[in-house]
Structure 1
Amino acid sequence: MEGETFVSDLASTVNATTLIDAPRGIMYDRYGHVVVDNDLELSVTYTNPSRTTSSQTMLEIAEKLEPLIEMDTERVTDRDKRDYMLLKMEEEERYELVTREEREELDGVSAEYQLEIERITDEQVESLSNRDLQVAAIFREMARGYANSPQRIKQRITDEEAHVISENLDRLPGIDILRDSSRTYPYGDSFHAFFGSTSLIPSERIDYYLARGYDRSDIVGTSFLEEQYEEVLRGQKAVVESITRREGSQTIDREVKERLGQRGNDLVLTLDMELQQRLEKILDDEIRKSGNSFISDRSAYAVLMDPRTGDILAMAGWWDRGDRNRDSFADHSGNVHKVFEMGSSVKAASVLTGFHAGVASPGTRFNDRTIYLPMTPPKRSWNTSGFGWIDDRRALEQSSNVYMFEIGMRMANCYYRAPNASCGWTTGSGGTIERAYQDVRNSFSQFGLGSETGIDLPSYSSGLIGGSESGGNLLDLMIGQYDNYSTLQLAQYIATIANDGYRMEPRLVREIREPATDPDEQGAVVKKFEPTVLNRIDMSDTHISRVQQGLRDVMTRGTARGNFANASYQPAGKTGTAQVKVAVGQGDNRRIVDGNTQSLVGYAPFNNPEIAFAVVVPDVKLGSNGGRQGIAQEISKSALEAYFELKETRNGATPIEEPLLEDINMN
């Protein structure tokens, strides 16, 4: 009976639903320290009610908003400025940019617009006032939004800006203030890179996220842990429904209903933040102590992990590219993305490979002397006079190159007897050299050298394989001077030997928990990640035990005895020095400088390993040129001492005075 009345009421009622982002889950270290938190803040947004809203209307709103907020104009591009200038022009001014004849010849409105943009002179662009740039910055963000979806114009608005905007919302259609949050890092740059970053959905992945129920304006994790655990960390959005009834142009009633959102689930990491801070300081101290020891860039990388579980306890990188004005030299991600020739630190894998191939066995002795092969430079150990007849343990202890060469040659059917003797190995069509390369690399991959580590990150390096499979390069492969590996791969390799041949999957997250209501407590466990065995290497317990004894010899009476012989924590390990050539200078001044990459791998205690480590210090000058030797050993020694000291006494990680705020990326 009153159908017309209800139809009229319906026509005058506007129902708008807005989804408000909830804070992301936070991250804890293994001892409950909050390492990634949320900073609650306010954002000013614009919701375009229709795809048909004109640019001119949006510009008018931007001009009204401009006096109320301070915008960062650094992101306003030259094209943004020209678009803004065209919108400000009268129709007659725009017609003066392009003649009628030119418009008739152009193919469509888009071509006309492009030509108008080009006709605006650089002088006109440079004449824009600061107010113009502020308006252009606001309009730029408004135009990037989608219909019926709040688009952030500015995050972290001040209380004063929030008050003045609130007082003027009635004359700013589509503008609103929403509760928002951004990431904060209580420990600054410590491990910061691995936490990852967030931003608007990248354009190349928009379809992926839309198919999973995301909105185009959502903030998502775009790297490292934030990306890897996006589905866990994202919060449940709040829903705000606004029902407005109008008579003519007047609002007579407005009702707002809100369904609260929920913060995302939390991550408990394997990270020991106190140990991480100690490790970062050790790298910083040792690199600075080394002075002018580096050929060009100064850098060092270190990974500490539990060989029994794969837990990453600390992972730090330090890199100075010569920019002394940098606030931080942190390069933690270099542990998983940068690869190097690791030198003799891989020789434990070489010996085990020889044992498994049957070309050597525990106690086998080879004559360490200079080897001469056709079309190959003389091959010898670091002790140019040779070590004479030595067995496998002595070869590891003194880092014999020739012992590893003999293993490689025998795997390629080369039994070297006298200077310039023919080896009998063949190349091409699956010859013995090619088979030897394949067998060695297959063996090395079981330890994690040249294969995927399995760490819970969206991307990492699996190493770099050398290209030319010649006989001489095969020998270099056996001593870690051909294929390239990451520091994490090196740590996984030595952890596999420490763990009696079981290769564990490295992991950064051990638990997922519900968001806690009490800020001083953690929520209930949603999922607990158990340690994962990736594989058991194809070597016998007897062979592994023999190599473990050789690694202990390295630290007690071998190449690392000076730093570790009397260590109470009884380490085992292997030193490495890879020869490198680094190009420095520009143009006519460009030259090649010889140097080395220092490395050390190991674990402790020898009889019951609970920590494995890998340290890499690239591109150090030769000792004869002023390079400091033993940097990797000094870093390793200090890192192990820090680990065992913290087992006895803990003071807790030290937060910085003001938590580091996330660098908001609205692009």
Structure 2
Amino acid sequence: MKKKIKPKHRQRKRNHLSFRLNVLFFVVFLLFSALILRLGFVQIVEGETFVNELASTTNATERHDAPRGVMYDRYGHVVVDNQLELSVTYTNPSRTTKAQTMLEIAQDLEPLIEVDTERVTPRDKRDYILLTMSEEDRYKLVTREERRDLDGPSSEYQLEIERITDEQIDRLSSQELQVAAIYREMARGYANSPQRIKQRITDEEAHVISENLDRLPGIDIARHSSRTYPYGDSFHSFFGSTSQIPSERVDYYLSRGYERSDIVGTSYLEAQYEEVLRGQKAVVESVTKREGTRTIDSTVNERLGQRGNDLVLTLDMELQQRLEDIIDQEIRKSGNSFILDRSAYAVLMDPRTGDILAMAGFWDPAGRERDSYADHIGNVNKAFEMGSSVKAASVLTGFHAGVASPGTRFNDRPIYLPQTPPKRSWNTSGFGWIDDRRALEQSSNVYMFEIGMRMANCYYTAPNTRCGWTTGSGGTIERAYQEVRNSFSQFGLGSETGIDLPSYSSGLTGGSESGGNLLDLMIGQYDNYTTLQLAQYIATIANDGYRMEPRLVREIRNPSTIQDEQGAVVQKFEPTILNRIDMSDAHISRVQQGLRDVMTRGTARANFGNASYQPAGKTGTAQVKVAVGQGDYRRVVDGNTQSLVGYAPFNNPEIAFAVVVPDVRLGSNGGRQGIAQEISKSALEAYFELKDSRNGAKPIDEPLLEEVNID
């Protein structure tokens, strides 16, 4: 057998490959060796040089707050604006900064500014006294035996605080209180985060502080902006307020890129649209290199800030001012008509879109001094028994339940049920046999009672006849309550309105679900509703059964760079239909005709019978009992809550309204009747007058400036 011999060229090729790999490994070895040598050289030979250079390089980052977005009304009037102001801030460079160091800075700053000392608590004063005591005096506060029994420094400090006497606090001078107030604000800050010490410093204070910044480490003058309200209290409470981040919300905001000292919206529109209104901060980064006491290099990088986006509201500020004046005049004209507090609430809205055009409230609490009687927010957070103004919902509920239909007649006469006071209409002898339209026109209670009783399987035929309704779980009364409330909620009565606010009331339900209370529920004298819920209910009927979501904001716009001009639209909010009530068009039309009858022939004809704008609506008077007096003089006074709901024009509704006047004395006791009707009449006249001619909203002489809470 012959021996196989490998070709020479294949052997040479393999030797050549091995040589290349060896060269590659050698080069890699040299590179790693060079890298290791270089690292060793940098660390061992030049390490000290680089450490010194790093120590001589300072990097300071400043963040300047940007103004929040402004708010406009529907006609372009600025209703919430910003005003530039200067504040004194302290930035704690480290968590380990000693309290004594901050106290010394506070003592140096005190002669330069004047601060409010009202917020200085007794605990703050004790802290200050401890800081200013000598070590010897402080050591005397706690005995050696007591220290042995204490758990640690915190327990010892608490005992020292308790040993500070009231006499020592009383001996503090005004100058010392000023220092304590400054130190209090400084100590409340977080490391590397500016903490406001005083807002709105004067120009003189700013100049003096600027001249002394070199000896006030951590102290700076920062630019901020505060909210201003060109129209004063008009709609002010709905705009909301701003403050430093509340302690319970710190984690929430920090996770979204905020700093602890940032100002945020804390209520109503400011809170609801915080992410929109929030501005983008300007960032200034300064890098300085020093060699000894000499600066050898300095660079500044700046990122410009931007004002937050703007809101265009549905509000008509001129109409709002007219409505506020109307309520104010009518309440003051009523004199002593009120049992205790004088108050009234009104909502004007577009039933086709849900736009809130105006929403005003007046509250004059008895025995209390107030700077302002404005209580606009009461329209969404105060609930009342609304009386007969809800009867349109009662009739439609009866139609839907099948216990009545258009044209159904019931005998309006007193009803006597076991263990229940007599139930009758305001016309105590009754209206006799009436149909649904006549029942709305004359505000028959008994017609609504009949609907409620029949829904609970009670067919009342004669005095003292026992009804066939049953109580308890699954009983006919319980089912009737549920059916009525479910029906009412379709209109917005007793349900969430959906308005773009972070909080509002959904009303209150009565307690005991008895047969007699069911009858009261049908005439609006059991469950409680807000004025906004009442307005949404009547707007739903005006809008042929479509319940619109009430809204306060129409658009979000970019901040404008041109004076008196709005920026480009970022987002436009379209009207939102919440639901369509589960009633037929014929039934809704029938009730609409009944509401028109109220204004032309019924309980509101005196004020609206000849109105050119052709209103439709429903009056309401709920009986109330109000406790007045104290101790042996405490007594209960009978009164009523007046209400009126409606819309106009009847054939093509463009405005819906609800007016509520709580706790008015009875006419026999000197109470003025018809206050709600007078307010409604003047409000509708104002709306239609403004359609023809406008003079513009009237700003106050000195814009109202928000007091920002920095606690």
User: TM-score, length-normalised on structure 2?
Assistant: 0.93
Match of 2:230 among 180, 186, 201: 186
**1:253: how far off?**
5.7
CA deviation after TM superposition for structure 1 residue 322, in Å: 2.5
SS of structure 2 residue aligned to 1:37: strand
CA distance in 2, matches of 1:627, 1:506: 34
- SS in structure 1 of the partner of residue 411 of structure 2: strand
C-alpha distance in 1 between matches for 2:697 and 2:239: 17
Aligned equivalent of 1:50, options 94, 102, 115: 94
1:476 aligns with 2:488: no
In the TM superposition, residue 343 of structure 1 has moved relative to its aligned partner by: 0.2
SS of alignment partner, residue 627 of structure 2: strand
Letter in structure 2 aligned against 1:532: T
**Per-residue CA distance 1:163-192 (angstroms, 9 max, x = gap):** 111111110111111111010000000000
Q: Does 1:142 align with 2:181?
A: no
1:262-303, Cα deviation, whole Å (9 max, x unpaired)? 000000000000000000011100000000000000000000
State the Cα distance separating 1:43 from its structure 2 match. 1.1
| Aligned counterpart, 1:413 | 457
1:578 and 2:622 aligned:
yes
The SS at the match of 1:97 is coil
CA–CA separation in structure 1 for the residues paired with 2:629 and 2:290: 73
SS at match of 1:526: strand
Distance 2:642 2:485 in 1: 22
Letter in structure 1 aligned against 2:541:
I
Correspondence 1:353-368 to 2 at 5 A: 353-368=397-412
What one-letter code is carried by the residue in structure 2 that aligns with 1:173?
Answer: P
| Equivalent position to 1:347, from 376, 382, 391 | 391
Could you say what secondary structure the match of 1:242 adopts? strand
Instruction: Give the root-mean-square deviation of aligned CA atoms.
Output: 1.2
**Structure-2 residue corresponding to 1:59:** 103
Q: For residue 19 of structure 1, what is the aligned residue in structure 2? A: 63
Using the alignment, how far apart are the partners of 1:122 and 1:237 within structure 2? 45
Partner of 2:140, secondary structure, is helix
Amino acid at match of 2:320: Q
- When Rg is computed on C-alpha atoms for both structures, the one with the higher figure is 2
Structure 1 unpaired stretches of 5+: none
**Partner of 1:620 in structure 2?**
664
Amino acid at match of 1:663: E
Alpha-carbon distance between aligned partners in 1 of 2:563 and 2:119, rounded to the nearest angstrom:
36
2:440 is equivalent to residue 391 of structure 1 = no
Q: Could you tell me which amino acid in structure 1 is paired with residue 519 of structure 2?
A: L
Q: Which of 667, 670, 679 is 1:635 aligned to?
A: 679
1:552 counterpart SS class: helix
1:8-60 per-position Cα deviation (integer Å, ceiling 9, x unaligned)? 21221111212221110000000000000000111111111111101110111
Task: Specify the SS of the correspondent of 1:497.
Answer: helix
CA distance in 1, matches of 2:368, 2:478: 47
Match of residue 253, structure 2, among 209, 213, 216: 209
For 2:229, the aligned partner's letter is Y
Question: Which residue, out of 220, 243, 259, partners 1:176?
Answer: 220
Q: Where does 1:455-466 land on structure 2 (aligned, <5 Å)?
A: 455-466=499-510
Q: Does 1:268 align with 2:312?
A: yes
Secondary structure, aligned partner of 2:694: coil
Q: Distance in 1 between matches of 2:171 and 2:640?
A: 55
Alignment of 1:246-261 (within 5 A): 246-248=290-292, 254-261=298-305
- Structure-2 residue corresponding to 1:68: 112
- CA deviation map 1:448-491 (0-9, x unaligned): 00000000000000000011000000000000000000000000
Query: Residue 663 of structure 1 aligns with which residue?
Result: 707
The one-letter code sitting in structure 1 at the alignment partner of 2:164 is I
Aligned equivalents of 2:172, 2:294: Cα separation in 1: 38
Cα drift, residue 208 of structure 1: 0.8
Matched residue type, 1:118: E
Distance 1:534 1:625 in 2: 44
Q: Which range is displaced more, 175-184 or 525-534?
A: 175-184
Report the equivalent of 1:602: 646
Q: 1:114 aligns with which of 158, 166, 188?
A: 158
Distance in 1 between residues matched to 2:355 and 2:421, nearest whole Å: 43
Pick from 64, 75, 85 the counterpart of residue 129 of structure 2: 85
Q: Which amino acid aligns with 2:495?
A: S
Distance 1:135 1:253, change over 3 A: farther
Q: Distance in 2 between matches of 1:388 and 1:641?
A: 36
Q: Which residue type is aligned with residue 88 of structure 1?
A: T
Report the counterpart of residue 317 of structure 1 in structure 2: 361
Q: Deviations over 1:494-528 (max 9, x none)?
A: 00000000000000000000000012100000000
User: For 1:382, which of 407, 423, 426 is the aligned residue?
Assistant: 426
Letter in 2 for 1:219: I
Decide which moves more: 307-316 or 17-26: 17-26
2:218 partner letter: G
**Aligned-partner SS, 1:179:** strand
Matches within 5 A, 1:461-610: 461-610=505-654
The 5-angstrom pairing of residues 429-468 of structure 1 reads 429-468=473-512
Residue in structure 1 matching 2:173, options 108, 123, 129: 129
Going from structure 1 to structure 2, the CA distance change for 1:456 and 1:467 (only over 3 Å counts) comes to: same
The amino acid that maps onto 2:207 is H
CA distance in structure 2 between the partners assigned to 1:391 and 1:592 by the alignment = 37
- Partners of 1:224 and 1:582 lie apart in 2 by 31
- Tell me what 1:242 maps to: 286
Structure 2 CA distance for aligned equivalents of residues 6 and 101 of structure 1 = 53
Kindly state the Cα deviation for residue 252 of structure 1 after the two structures are TM-superposed: 6.2
When residues 512 and 365 of structure 1 are mapped into structure 2, their CA distance, relative to the original with a 3 A threshold, is same
Give 1:121 deviation, angstroms.
1.0
Q: Cα–Cα, structure 1 residues 348 and 60, in superposed 2: closer, same or farther, change >3 Å? A: same
Shift of 1:326: 2.3
CA distance in 2, matches of 1:15, 1:413: 81
2:210 paired residue number:
166
- 1:290 and 2:318 matched: no
Instruction: Please say if residues 345 and 480 of structure 1, whose CA atoms lie closer than 8 Å, have aligned partners that are also in contact.
Output: yes
Aligned counterpart for 2:446 among listed residues 386, 398, 402: 402
C-alpha offsets along residues 554-595 of structure 1, whole Å, 9 cap, x if unaligned?
000100000000000000000000000001111111111100
Distance across 1 between alignment mates of 2:185 and 2:55: 32
Can you list the C-alpha shifts for 1:584-615, whole angstroms capped at 9, x where unaligned? 11111111110000000000000000000000
Q: Which stretch has the larger CA shift, 557-566 or 150-159? A: 150-159
Q: Is residue 240 of structure 2 the alignment partner of residue 200 of structure 1?
A: no
Paired AA for residue 702 in structure 2: E
- For residue 277 of structure 1, the aligned residue among 318, 321, 327 is 321
1:400, 1:372 → 2: CA distance? Answer: 16
Q: Secondary structure at the match of 2:468?
A: coil
Q: Which residue of 2 aligns with 1:232?
A: 276
Q: Conserved in 2, the CA contact under 8 Å of 1:345 and 1:574? A: yes
Letter in 1 for 2:551: R
Following TM superposition, by how much is the alpha carbon of 1:109 offset from its aligned partner in structure 2, in angstroms? 1.3
Offset, 1:7: 3.6
Indicate the percent of aligned positions where both proteins have the same amino acid. Answer: 86
User: Which segments of 5 or more consecutive residues in structure 2 lack a partner in the other structure?
Assistant: 1-40
The separation in 2 between residues aligned to 1:237 and 1:280, in whole angstroms, is 38
Contact in 2 for aligned 1:18/1:149 (Cα 8 Å): no
Q: How does 1:23-42 map to 2 (within 5 A)?
A: 23-42=67-86
The alpha-carbon deviation at position 429 of structure 1 amounts to: 2.1
Contact in 2 for aligned 1:18/1:150 (Cα 8 Å): no
Q: Quick one: which amino acid aligns to residue 574 of structure 2?
A: E
Shift of 1:103: 1.7
User: 2: distance between equivalents of 1:445 and 1:499?
Assistant: 16
